Structure 1
Amino acid sequence: MLEVINKTGSYAIKSFGTVKDINFELRRGECLGLIGHNGAGKSTLLKILNGLINPDAGKVTIKGRVGALIELGAGFNPILTGRENIYNNGAVLGFTKKEIEAKVEAIIDFAEIREFIDMPVQNYSSGMKVRLGFAVAAQMEPDVLIIDEVLAVGDVRFKAKCFNVLEKLVNKCAVIIVSHSMPQITRICTDLILLKKGEIIAHESGEFAFTIEQYLKMVVQVNTSEIGNGNLKIEKLEINGSNENLIDIEYNKPFSLGLGLKFIKPIESISIKVTFFDAEQKAVVQLSSVNDKVIIKNDDLNEFLNVTVDIESLSLNMGTYSLHIVVREINDRNNEGEILQLIRAARSINVIGNTYYSQAPCLYKGNWVF
């Protein structure tokens, strides 16, 4: 069992920021996720739990062996080999030499660095250090496992391997993990805490819809950038008639995008693509006039054209998405030509009314009006 008790009201951590009023209890078979923007106090809290920082006030009670993967290469002696560091780390966790020897081969196999295991760790790449560090922390099966976002360094295949192991470890120990990936958090965690400036903003068990929604609203930033050839300008962009930078959209309910296009040079036909990027900046779905076999005509060569996309349904799961918009000229062969204007992160939508968070691409149904 791991228990954090705060009797005096705050943990004051000199030179590392402040963690205030943190109270939680975690037992074997449970996994606690810590989320929040950079500087929220996540890593500071992990260092307190791992004994790297002594709080000025309050109490931390941990029963059992603690394995931690907090900083890249932390706990490794760079001049020792990977094999020697396995024995060192195992000894720090309180395991006997016999117990460590029984795990060495499994650790080396899991880390996938057998050909480098007798090389000094200072010569390892960041990925190799992560693999070895996680292998030691996981294969030694501590009573409490603490993991910071260092897993972000590993490749996709190794990440999947790590989370498969974590799902099994949760049944044997208490796990605390920091991650900026909401799919990872929802996959493995039983409890979730959102931190801001060292304080708990939200704490949920089981379903995390509210906490994740608060986190995404907290970290979303519209950093708009534009490029184009100067022949067209997007002067208006509205979602459901609003030009606010962040709009709430009901899950799987109709909504509309309205664009006002000013033509600096006479142009007869254009195409428009609107791509939705999730909070991790991965494209999840794209609305395309070309894919919908629609060529947007400006027959009278007007200087201004309004285009509306009425979307019947777009089953995006809960979360915040940024919209990237690109307008291209259609040439005489009905093919897309050069970019007239591209706006990255032109607007953001916050999908509400759905309790499930994922990254699955979604289909949409809609009509183009111009």
Structure 2
Amino acid sequence: MQKENVKNELDSDVVIKVEGLHKKFCRNLRRSMFYGCLDVTRDMFGISRDRGKLRRDEFFALENVSFEVKKGEAFGIIGQNGSGKTTLLRIINGIFPPDRGKISVRGRIGALIAVGAGFHPHMTGRENIYLNGTILGMTKKEINDKFREIIDFADIGEFIDAPVSTYSSGMTVRLGFAIAIHSNSEILLADEVLAVGDLNFALKCYRKIAEYRGKGGAIILISHNMHMIRHLCQKVVWIQNGKMINTGDVLEMCNKYEEVSLNKDYEENNISDNAKILNFDDSFKISSVDFLDSKDSKTNKFISGEPLKIRINFQSKRSINNPIFSISLLDSEGNIIFESYSKIGEIGSLLSEGTVEFLTEKLSIRPNIYDCSISLAEGELLNKIEWHERAYKVVFDNKNNLEINQGIIFPYPQWILKNKIK
């Protein structure tokens, strides 16, 4: 039940060591306050108590978590919402004490655990550099020496002299990350902070993190973005319901996590949570949409690399000339992974009732849950008749043992060495 800054207990290259960590909370506020007063009183009088025992309404947010982080290492923490990831970072940062177990830390910690944490909303960005830098353990001289680098890296222009309360979340992240990465800390803790930044800033952060690690700095990163984890981290710990499922190589752990998440989140109902159905012409209606596998069986779960058929059933009270159907698959962040349009004249006119089928013989994309959008336009794409925006949920699994990499598409590559003939 210790959180220590130590030097002698750790190996020379280890900066954080977590051993048998437990943390419990109470669901009931009044009972939680009573337990707190009781525990403080017992500690004052030296009365021992069993910290590993759960009392009424208590639960373990973290249970028996152990790992270590070395110098120059980027260490990822993955797991679903509510699994205890942020709690773990807060314990490492000294915000919460552990109930059981031990955390040994060597070096100064810079933390980005929440957007805007450590900022005063009514102070300017310039003033908050000094405030937040001091919180991170920097001296005034250190802040002065790094001041221009912080402002240049944040790149928020004239807003540096505006109150932080006027900042967007992206601007706040820019300033917070700029301070933390220039804080002369040996350890950086980051919790989903890059999720709200733009692409250019994210790339700049990647380069700065690589430079930081090259100088021996260690990073612990929490993210639901597996691409980011694969790109930045060397090792990963997977936490689920407060318990450590496993720890190890980043590619192996991320692939396994995605596979388990797919099986857990999959439901037979193929209606997406993001569904939005818009009809701009009462004379036409898409009556139903069916997703079919290679055996023409209805399903919304497919094997990556196998055929996909989408059957669109419609009813039309007038002739739709030059119809253009479109189909697109989008990931959870709204990025278009795949898109296809029918060509003008390819289908013919639509009248009365009928069915249009889309077929691809091999759609090899990363195992994941995607949203599917389907639309019909007449004559040109902007002339929409009906649009089912992210209306259907499609799941792609990996049972063909495709090689998992950081990309989205699997092109079935072959690598061939052809030596020059001398």
- The residue number in structure 2 matching 1:365 is none
* Maintained 8 Å contact 1:65/1:143: yes
Q: Is the 8 A contact 1:37 1:219 kept in 2?
A: no
Work out the CA distance in 2 between the residues paired with 1:235 and 1:261. Answer: 5
Counterpart of 1:309 in structure 2 is 358
Higher relative contact order structure (alpha carbons within 8 Å, sequence separation ≥ 6): 1
- Going from structure 1 to structure 2, the CA distance change for 1:294 and 1:168 (only over 3 Å counts) comes to farther
* Local SS of the residue matching 1:210: helix
Tell me which residue corresponds to 1:282.
335
Aligned to 2:225: 181
Partner of 1:200: 244
In the alignment, does 2:251 pair up with 1:239?
Answer: no
2:303 paired with 1:249: yes
- For 2:331 and 2:116, the matched residues in 1 are separated by 31
- TM-fit CA distance, 1:84: 4.4
Offset from partner CA, 1:266-322 (integer Å, 9 cap, x none) = 6466432110112322112212212xx5622368x56343x4333133343443322
Amino acid at match of 2:150: I
User: Percent of aligned positions with the same letter in both sequences?
Assistant: 33
User: Compared with structure 1, are the counterparts of its residues 263 and 48 closer, same or farther at alpha carbon in structure 2 (3 Å cutoff)?
Assistant: same
SS in 1 for 2:361: strand
**Please, what is the CA RMSD of the aligned residues?**
3.2
Alignment of structure 1 residues 36-47 onto 2, 5 Å:
36-47=79-90
- TM-score, normalising length: structure 1: 0.81
* Contact preservation (8 Å) 2:366, 2:396: no
State the alpha-carbon separation in 2 of the partners of residues 73 and 219 from structure 1: 32
Query: Residue 234 of structure 1 contacts residue 259 of structure 1 at CA under 8 Å; is this kept in 2?
Result: no
The 1-side partners of 2:375 and 2:315 are apart by 15
Match of 1:138 in 2: 181
Shift in CA distance, 219/72, structure 1 to aligned 2, threshold 3 Å? farther
2:324 alignment counterpart: 271
Q: Are residues 1:191 and 2:235 paired?
A: yes
State the AA in 1 paired with 2:361.
E
Distance change in 2, residues 1:339/1:162 (3 Å) = same
The answer to whether the 8 Å contact 1:143/1:174 transfers is: yes
Contact 2:229 2:250 in 1 (8 A): no
Superposed, 1:1-370 pairs within 5 Å as 1-6=15-20, 10-14=22-26, 18-78=61-121, 80-113=123-156, 115-117=158-160, 121-122=164-165, 124-171=167-214, 172-207=216-251, 208-215=254-261, 218=264, 222-223=272-273, 224-228=275-279, 229=281, 231-240=284-293, 241-245=296-300, 247-250=301-304, 253-265=305-317, 267=319, 270-290=323-343, 295-297=346-348, 303-305=353-355, 307-328=356-377, 330=378, 337-340=383-386, 342=388, 344-352=390-398, 353-358=402-407
Name stretches of at least 5 consecutive residues in structure 2 with no aligned partner.
Answer: 1-14, 28-58, 412-422
Find the aligned partners of 1:80 and 1:225 in 2 and give their Cα distance.
41
Q: CA-to-partner distance for each residue in 1:144-189, whole Å, 9 max, x for gaps?
A: 1001123333333222211221122223211111223222222111
Cα distance in 2 for partners of 1:238, 1:124 equals 44
Q: Which amino acid aligns with 1:259?
A: R
Report if aligned partners of 1:220, 1:279 keep a CA contact under 8 Å in 2.
Answer: no
Larger radius of gyration: 2
Question: Bigger shift: 81-90 or 24-33?
Answer: 81-90
Change (3 A) 1:234 1:24: farther
**Structure 1 segments unaligned to the other structure (5+ residues):** 363-370
Cα 1:302–1:64, aligned 2, differ >3 Å: closer, same or farther? same
Specify the SS of the correspondent of 1:192. strand
CA distance in 2, matches of 1:276, 1:40: 29
TM-score by length of 2: 0.72
Runs of 4+ in 1 over 6 A off after TM superposition: none
CA distance in 1, matches of 2:127, 2:141: 14
The aligned amino acid for 2:407 is S
Query: Quick one: distance in 2 between partners of 1:265 and 1:201?
Result: 57
